[in-house]
């Protein structure tokens, strides 16, 4: 039985266009927000609509376009803020109510279990969050590709290993919910990514690095 509902919000600020997700536990009305960005009113509108008790904020990584609404939400609702210990320590991320997690940690929101999967590559301590039917991937995996590995703390080797882990351990029917779209709506299955995402099709580390780090890549705009 699925004890949660997922709400997908498309939030914008200038160049940036982010997907933020709200997980609502239907048995307790507890909720979490994943990577809150840009539009506080839209997030609060969903929370009010379902009469949610916001108990946690989940952060896939520490880049500003994923964390810029953390402080306002903490001030209003006093939730925990969940981020990987590696991300916290590497970038010295700080905020009130900050709680560190390790790879494989599981915590519950009401009767909804959420598993933390350490997936470095885009950043040093990026994390995906796995629920019964969804994988929230931040900037690790997009429907169309994977995150850049050139930012501070990024690593194509780590990205390759993170994608291999997801390929080898996550069920094919799980729906992938990234933080950005480049033309395809979020919510496609792992099986779809195997067929359509080129980074899922490269099984050799050296080939992966060469392709991910190739020069003169076309920069896609957020959609």
Give the domains, in start order, of the chain with CATH numbers. Answer: 4-212 (3.60.15.10)
Q: pLDDT per residue over 20-68, tens digit each?
A: 999 999 999 999 999 999 899 999 999 999 999 999 999 999 998 889 9
Full pLDDT tens readout for the chain, 223 residues: 789 999 999 987 777 788 999 999 999 999 999 999 989 999 999 999 999 999 999 999 999 888 999 999 999 999 999 999 999 999 999 999 999 999 999 999 999 999 999 999 999 999 999 999 999 999 999 999 999 999 999 999 999 999 999 999 999 999 999 998 888 889 999 999 999 999 999 999 999 999 999 987 765 555 4
Q: In Å, what is the CA distance from 88 to each residue of 18, 121, 220?
A: 22, 15, 29
Distance CA 96, CA 70 (A): 9
> DSSP state, 199?
G
CA 35 to chain CA mean position, Å:
7
Judged by phi (left if over 0) then psi (alpha if -120 to 50, else beta), residue 104 lies in left
- Going along 26-125, which residue ranges are E strands? 30-34, 53-58, 80-84, 98-101, 106-109, 112-118
Spell 52-79 as b/e; 16+ CB within 10 A means b.
bbbbbbbbbbbbebbbbbbeebbeebeb
Q: Taking the complete model, does pTM exceed 0.75, yes or no?
A: yes
Structure tokens at 50: 């379902």
């Amino acid at each position: 039985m699925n004890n949660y509902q997922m709400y997908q919000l498309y939030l914008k600020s200038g160049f940036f266009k982010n997907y933020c997700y709200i997980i609502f536990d239907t048995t307790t009305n507890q909720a979490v927000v994943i990577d809150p960005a840009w539009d506080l009113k839209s997030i609060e509108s969903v929370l009010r609509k379902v009469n949610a008790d916001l108990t946690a904020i989940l952060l896939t990584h520490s880049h500003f376009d994923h964390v810029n609404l953390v402080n306002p939400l903490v001030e209003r609702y006093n939730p925990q803020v969940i981020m990987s210990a590696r991300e916290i320590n590497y970038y010295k991320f700080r905020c009130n109510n900050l709680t560190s997690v390790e790879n494989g940690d599981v915590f519950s929101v009401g009767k909804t279990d959420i598993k933390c999967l350490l997936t470095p590559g885009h950043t040093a301590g990026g994390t995906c969050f796995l629920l019964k039917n969804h994988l929230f991937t931040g900037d690790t995996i997009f429907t169309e590709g994977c995150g850049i590995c050139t930012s501070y703390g990024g690593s194509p080797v780590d990205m390759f290993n993170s994608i291999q882990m997801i390929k080898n351990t996550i069920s094919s029917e799980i729906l992938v919910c990234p933080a950005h779209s480049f033309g395809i709506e979020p919510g496609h299955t792992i099986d779809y990514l195997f067929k359509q995402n080129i980074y899922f099709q490269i099984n050799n580390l050296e080939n992966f690095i060469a392709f991910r780090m190739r020069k003169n890549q076309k920069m896609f705009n957020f959609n």
